[in-house]
């Protein structure tokens, strides 16, 4: 039964970062927008991703601080974890942020529809509510932002000890033994969190190294640090199955056929990436195409094959990052407003991994720059000698900057800034600007960094590339 039919300037399907950013940004420009969400506003990022995972990591950081308090002259007993409190704190943060999005939608008169949105011809969207009732709305433009869900692997069905990021984030205790299948960014964040909180953690990674996309110098720092947390890193191994035990745990089987190994654990975190979730979008009778991997096909302007229909965020084959979803949302909305746009430059977006030690980068790493044919000059500085790093007691890590070598043999344009160490996710903005402004090292070296600060390391590394320095 069609209850109503309402016309909007813009209809957005999916209320995660891509979707809510599109609706709110459009509304701030005076657009009459509708936002269709079948679950909770905020999507993966707020409810099952970035925010809860970082809240857990912060608990792990507090645990580390307390454990090392004596080094700062603070006598305390050994820290004990009450993870139910951690969970409640995380839930409060999430609820506050989700409520904030709802309030912003209300304030900007974005109409929120609770239900599954499916797109038909002529930009008509049918919203099916939980009770089965349907509402039809139409947009002059439509943005698809249905996001992604965890990928699964054969023989590891969710349930009991087998978890994806969704279930791990609902844990109310620290498992004694945890195996993380997949050593990517999300897997490493969980490994880091639970190892710092006292779990015995093993990472099983099929590729030859964890964090495979990362510059080797940075990856080595993370591996060394993880080892000092007693995280057992097993690379080049394939998990084949598991045998549950009566105590609620399981034995994971992995390795080559002729040398299968077994690991008894309480929790298995399957962290092998995320797949796009176009499953409930309908799309029949439209020109929107979905490729063989499930991604909605778009051009560099996020335009689908259907006139006036865009797709953004994890639903399309671009970096699966909330802030990339924001950028794509803005790109799409500006086009609906008839404004000039330039495509998102995906090779220059900021990346951040919040494990301990943190990792952040923008632009090409050394291997990529060389593979792209650049003649490069590289400078590296460790946090070990940085005064603020010593003050905060976090001296592992480095800054590494890759610059294009000019005809005179000197370092010229900054191609990439890569950092690992304390709070580098908060320090990347200078490097991000340098890369995206296509600045030269001489230009960036003119800028003054505050002293004492962690960000001085970026300044010193840039200065070294000018051929001079006072701290190198």
Per CB under 6 A, residues contacting ligand FAD are 13-19, 36-39, 43-45, 48-50, 53, 116-117, 145-148, 165, 186, 277, 280-281, 313-315, 320-323, 325, 354
For the bound state, the minimum distance from the C-beta of residue 278 to ligand FAD, rounded and expressed in Å, comes to 8
Select 16 or 175, whichever has its Cβ closest to ligand FAD.
16
List of residues 6+ apart from 21 with CB closer than 8 A = 325, 326, 329, 330
Nearer to ligand FAD, 321 or 389 (CB): 321
| CA–CA–CA angle 77, 80, 86 (5° rounding) | 135
* Least gap, CB of 184 to ligand FAD (angstroms): 10
Instruction: Tell me if residue 451 is catalytic.
Output: yes
Q: In whole angstroms, how close is the CB of 304 to ligand FAD at the nearest point?
A: 15
Residue with smaller CB distance to ligand FAD, 185 or 265: 185
**Least Cβ distance, residue 125 to ligand FAD (angstroms):** 9
Of the pair 184, 363, the CB lying nearest ligand FAD is at 184
Q: Report the residue number, 278 or 414, with the smaller CB distance to ligand FAD.
A: 278
Give φ, ψ of 445 to 5 degrees: -65, -20
Shortest distance (Å) from residue 315 CB to ligand FAD: 6
Q: Are 250 and 235 in contact (CB under 8 A)?
A: no
* Closer residue to ligand FAD in complex, CB, 350/412: 350
Contacts of 335 (CB under 8 A, 6+ apart): 301, 303, 310, 341
Q: How far apart are CA 253 and CA 240, in angstroms?
A: 6
Q: Which is nearer to ligand FAD, 13 or 415 (CB)?
A: 13
Q: Rounded to the nearest whole angstrom, what is the least distance from the CB of residue 329 to ligand FAD in the complex?
A: 8
Q: Is the dihedral of CA 409, 414, 420, 426 positive or negative?
A: positive
Nearest distance, CB of residue 67 and ligand FAD, angstroms: 24
- The residues annotated as belonging to the active site are 451
């Amino acid at each position: 039964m069609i209850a109503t039919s309402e016309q909007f300037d813009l209809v957005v399907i999916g209320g995660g970062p891509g979707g809510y950013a599109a609706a709110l940004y459009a509304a701030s420009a005076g657009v009459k927008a509708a936002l269709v969400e079948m679950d909770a506003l905020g999507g993966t990022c707020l409810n099952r991703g970035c925010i809860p995972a970082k809240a857990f990591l912060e608990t792990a950081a507090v645990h580390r601080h307390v454990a090392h308090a004596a080094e700062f002259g603070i006598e305390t007993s050994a820290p004990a974890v009450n993870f139910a409190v951690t969970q409640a704190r995380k839930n409060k943060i999430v609820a506050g942020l989700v409520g904030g999005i709802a309030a912003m939608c209300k304030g900007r008169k974005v109409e929120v529809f609770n239900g599954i949105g499916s797109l038909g011809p002529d930009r008509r969207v049918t919203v099916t509510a939980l009770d089965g009732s349907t509402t039809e709305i139409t947009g002059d433009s439509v943005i698809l932002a249905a996001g992604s869900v965890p990928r699964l692997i054969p023989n590891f069905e969710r349930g009991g000890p087998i978890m994806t990021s969704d279930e791990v984030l609902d844990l109310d205790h620290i498992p004694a033994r945890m195996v993380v299948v997949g050593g990517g960014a999300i897997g490493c964040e969980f490994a880091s969190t639970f190892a710092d909180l006292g779990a015995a953690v093993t990472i099983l990674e099929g590729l030859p190294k964890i964090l495979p996309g990362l510059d080797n110098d940075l990856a080595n720092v993370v591996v060394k640090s993880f080892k000092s947390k007693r995280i057992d890193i097993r690379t080049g191994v394939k998990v084949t199955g598991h045998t549950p035990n009566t105590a609620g745990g399981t034995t994971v089987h992995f390795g080559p056929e002729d040398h299968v190994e077994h690991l008894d654990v309480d929790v298995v975190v399957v962290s092998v990436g995320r797949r796009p979730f176009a499953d409930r979008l309908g799309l029949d009778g439209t020109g929107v195409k979905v490729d063989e991997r499930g991604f909605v096909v778009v051009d560099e302007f996020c335009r689908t094959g259907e006139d006036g229909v865009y797709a953004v965020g994890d639903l399309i084959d671009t970096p699966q990052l909330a802030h990339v979803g924001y950028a794509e949302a803005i790109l799409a909305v500006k086009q609906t407003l008839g404004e000039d746009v330039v495509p998102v430059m995906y090779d220059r977006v900021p990346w951040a991994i919040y494990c301990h030690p943190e990792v952040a980068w923008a632009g090409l790493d050394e291997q990529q720059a060389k593979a792209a044919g650049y003649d490069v000059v590289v400078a590296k500085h460790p946090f070990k000698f940085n005064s603020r790093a010593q003050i905060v007691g976090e001296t592992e890590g480095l800054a590494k900057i890759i610059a294009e070598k000019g005809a005179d043999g000197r370092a010229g344009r900054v191609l990439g800034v890569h950092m690992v160490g304390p709070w580098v996710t908060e320090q990347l903005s200078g490097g991000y600007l340098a890369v995206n402004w296509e600045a030269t090292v001489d230009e960036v070296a003119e800028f003054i960094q505050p002293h004492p600060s962690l960000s001085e390391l970026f300044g010193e590394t840039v200065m070294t590339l000018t051929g001079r320095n006072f701290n190198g």
